[in-house]
Structure 1
Amino acid sequence: MATSPTQFIATEESYLSPLIPLGTSTHPTDAALHLISTPILSKLKTLGPSRARDMRSAGISLQIISHIPIENASPQTCQKINDAMHAQIVTSPDRFAALAMLPCGEGMGREAAKELGRCVGKYRFVGGVLGVGAGERSGAGGLEASEWEELWGVAERYRVPVALRAVFPSRNQASLHSDFANELPPLCYTLVGPLLTNFHAHHSTSPFPILRLYLAGVFDRHPNLHLILSQSGHSIPSLLPRILAFDSTSLPPNTRPVRSFLDVWQHNFYISTADVLDLQSMRLLLEQIPMDRVLFAGGYPWAEGAAAAALMKEVRESGIVSREEWERIAWGNAEWLFGLRVGGTGKEGKAVARW
């Protein structure tokens, strides 16, 4: 494959449906969407020519679009959002593919499975996004429960991944994460919004849900399940020695995982580079997970895709990876995981069915 930067597949690019009301409620549990600045909000809500221009300027061939995870979004809301998202990208299969927004929280396992199956089967979406957070209601404390078995089964059957991403902070959570938020007028929130949402994501996406999934034997029952991590995944490499030192023989035999955590980590998880901001961080990530498990992400529109592409150029020139490994990170891994075809012909990407 050629090393043209126009081959990039960006895998963690955000979207916000116009169906989500903005500023109409001040309830503390509602998403703090008022923190999003007007320029970012404008980019979030469009999948049209302006986004395509930004992609071209950053050298990105195809974006994997996913809606911002919203806590307490009903199954009906998720369906409407996914229907609208499909209607916007269906005319540009060479530019966009989509991950279905799935309902999250207690009691939503079966509904999430139904929505993933509907979007993959009907719309050819290439996976789903499940919002996780610090509380039980967002699903972070219960993904290992039996109600989610159907979702993992659907993902495995269709051979599509599920991305675990932090739900957007509520108004109350945003205030708790900022010592000075209450001292600023509301109009200034847009200045600190990106920082607050990032702090919230790192706080709420603990690696514990991942460990609970492992200890519950989810990956023994679903050996071909693929989960995509961003913030929570980046904390695991530094913790690997302690996790691997855990003696699973101390667990009751009937609850003991069959596979080792290292085996699961290296075969069932993918990590996006959305939060990798420098060469040193990239080097650390690549030392802790196989190259074929790393996915390039531009983080649009929270970050400029050009910055992510520039970092990838630095990675290539540094020599820390081979040419083949670099190509796998830039687009090859995404091609395989999402069933896409970009290749080295200079053509833009297109989602294809693998079932």
Structure 2
Amino acid sequence: MKIIALEEHLANQEVLDAWRALPPGYQDDSLEIFDEPLIEARLADLAGERIRSMDDAGVDVQVLSLTTPGMANLKATAAVSLARRTNDLIAETVAAKPDRFEGFATLPTPDPEAAAAELRRAVETLGLKGAMIFGRVGERNMDHPSFRPLYEAAAQLRVPLYVHPQLPCRAVRDAYYTGFGPQVEVAFAGPGIGWHYETGVQLIRLILSGTLDRHPDLQFILGHWGEVVLFYLERMAFLDGASSLHRPLRDYFRQNVSYTPSGIFNHEYLRRTVKAVGVERVLFSADYPFIDAGLGGARGFLEQAELAPREKELIAHGNWERLTAR
């Protein structure tokens, strides 16, 4: 069984330096999560240790992507040039080991027109499979009209956009996640729970804006078993009568979104996801290097799943190959 893992991260020194050089108001505090030598070294390594970790976990192919916050916090000019160099690096890494790596583009989303152009270059010239984006850019939510060129480009190219979490905006953090000291607050607003509500809400906003009515074949991917919101499809019915969407909101989650575990190897979540959207909407991810899959952990999770062999193959690689066939 060939296993392709989709949320597998990198960050080279140039990107880390750019993030750390930002003034305090623009920095992403979740950088503290990988501000340790081992994680930083694994993010930068694109050969030896990464390949050994893949082999240990039972992962055959990683789809490489820049980790959070991507280019979202940079000034537009800096984001455009750095995204281009990062995508060149990803493409070079894929070309050196095409049997072990594929790639998601990173996009200069502070400049949506440039992001659309870079997505086209990354897919048509570099051969990358789509892009990883990080939801909101500053105060602009995913549904902001300025991002329409990006969604138009992805729809025309027929490539997926993987929506990765980032920290909620400062007003939300101040309202809900403060009062416990810096370390707890970052964990609370970040990977503890805040990341996931933020990402799920951003996708709901995008749907409510009519983006998927304008582009009915546009495809997104959510990690962490649907970023909380997937398991509330029944409650989303309250939005149907209040909106002017072309379809029930739950249909967008079943027809325009795919889902990965992001290293949360929980069989109950897998069963609930398959029940909610069907096995054809489930992909695989291990969230390297932030989750330690251990010896055979990634492969073991799928092998032990209460699914038919064909269904396991779909999650392991078949659904991804279908989604990215061009």
TM-score if structure 1 supplies the norm length? 0.78
Q: Tell me, in whole angstroms, the C-alpha distance in 2 between the residues paired with 1:171 and 1:17.
A: 27
Q: Tell me, in whole angstroms, the C-alpha distance in 2 between the residues paired with 1:15 and 1:177.
A: 30
Q: Tell me, in whole angstroms, the C-alpha distance in 1 between the residues paired with 2:219 and 2:165.
A: 18
Q: Tell me, in whole angstroms, the C-alpha distance in 1 between the residues paired with 2:91 and 2:178.
A: 34
What SS does the aligned partner of 2:24 have?
Answer: coil
Corresponding residue for residue 64 of structure 1: 63
Corresponding residue for residue 220 of structure 2: 227
Corresponding residue for residue 283 of structure 1: 271
Query: Deviations 1:197-224 (Å, cap 9, x if unpaired)?
Result: 4126535524222222222221111011
Worse overlay, 284-293 or 207-216: 207-216
Q: Tell me, in whole angstroms, the C-alpha distance in 2 between the residues paired with 1:219 and 1:147.
A: 16
Corresponding residue for residue 18 of structure 1: 13
For residues 127 and 331 of structure 1, do their structure 2 counterparts lie closer, same or farther at Cα, with a shift above 3 Å needed? same
Q: Does 1:209 align with 2:199?
A: no
Contact in 2 for aligned 1:8/1:62 (Cα 8 Å): yes
Contact in 2 for aligned 1:31/1:170 (Cα 8 Å): no
What SS does the aligned partner of 2:232 have?
Answer: helix
Identity score, percent: 24
Higher relative contact order (CA 8 A, sep 6+): 1
Q: Tell me, in whole angstroms, the C-alpha distance in 2 between the residues paired with 1:48 and 1:75.
A: 26
Contact in 1 for aligned 2:91/2:127 (Cα 8 Å): no
Contact in 1 for aligned 2:220/2:258 (Cα 8 Å): yes
Equivalent residue for 1:120, pick from 105, 123, 146: 123
Corresponding residue for residue 129 of structure 1: 132
Which has the higher Rg, Structure 1 or Structure 2? 1
Query: Deviations 1:18-63 (Å, cap 9, x if unpaired)?
Result: 2124455672532343441211111111111221121112221111
Q: Does 1:98 align with 2:103?
A: yes
Corresponding residue for residue 164 of structure 1: 163
Q: Does 1:310 align with 2:279?
A: no
What SS does the aligned partner of 1:103 have?
Answer: coil
The unaligned stretches of length 5 or more in structure 2 are: none
Corresponding residue for residue 350 of structure 1: none
Q: Tell me, in whole angstroms, the C-alpha distance in 1 between the residues paired with 2:324 and 2:178.
A: 35
Q: Tell me, in whole angstroms, the C-alpha distance in 2 between the residues paired with 1:55 and 1:333.
A: 20
Corresponding residue for residue 188 of structure 1: none
For residues 244 and 112 of structure 1, do their structure 2 counterparts lie closer, same or farther at Cα, with a shift above 3 Å needed? same
Q: Tell me, in whole angstroms, the C-alpha distance in 1 between the residues paired with 2:203 and 2:139.
A: 14
The alignment yields a C-alpha RMSD, in angstroms, of 2.9
Q: How does 1:283-302 map to 2 (within 5 A)?
A: 283-302=271-290
Worse overlay, 37-46 or 68-77: 68-77
Query: Deviations 1:168-220 (Å, cap 9, x if unpaired)?
Result: 6899979x66824469xxxxxxxx98887412653552422222222222111
Report the residue type matching 1:219 in the other structure: L
Equivalent residue for 2:26, pick from 19, 29, 33: 29
What SS does the aligned partner of 1:64 have?
Answer: strand
Query: Deviations 1:83-137 (Å, cap 9, x if unpaired)?
Result: 22222332111111111111234xx32121111111111101000111125xx61
Report the residue type matching 2:144 in the other structure: A
Equivalent residue for 1:330, pick from 316, 319, 323: 316
Q: Tell me, in whole angstroms, the C-alpha distance in 1 between the residues paired with 2:41 and 2:103.
A: 19
Q: Tell me, in whole angstroms, the C-alpha distance in 2 between the residues paired with 1:178 and 1:96.
A: 42
Q: Does 1:54 align with 2:53?
A: yes
Contact in 2 for aligned 1:29/1:170 (Cα 8 Å): no
What SS does the aligned partner of 1:160 have?
Answer: coil
For residues 334 and 147 of structure 1, do their structure 2 counterparts lie closer, same or farther at Cα, with a shift above 3 Å needed? same
Measured after TM superposition, the shift of residue 312 of structure 1 is 1.6
Contact in 1 for aligned 2:26/2:73 (Cα 8 Å): no
Q: Tell me, in whole angstroms, the C-alpha distance in 1 between the residues paired with 2:197 and 2:279.
A: 27
For residues 145 and 171 of structure 1, do their structure 2 counterparts lie closer, same or farther at Cα, with a shift above 3 Å needed? closer
Q: Tell me, in whole angstroms, the C-alpha distance in 2 between the residues paired with 1:262 and 1:103.
A: 30
The unaligned stretches of length 5 or more in structure 1 are: 184-191, 340-353
Corresponding residue for residue 89 of structure 1: 94
Q: Tell me, in whole angstroms, the C-alpha distance in 2 between the residues paired with 1:275 and 1:178.
A: 29
Q: Tell me, in whole angstroms, the C-alpha distance in 1 between the residues paired with 2:115 and 2:269.
A: 34
Measured after TM superposition, the shift of residue 271 of structure 1 is 0.7
- Count of aligned positions: 311
Q: Tell me, in whole angstroms, the C-alpha distance in 2 between the residues paired with 1:234 and 1:167.
A: 12
Contact in 2 for aligned 1:9/1:330 (Cα 8 Å): yes
Worse overlay, 22-31 or 202-211: 22-31
Q: Tell me, in whole angstroms, the C-alpha distance in 1 between the residues paired with 2:54 and 2:179.
A: 32
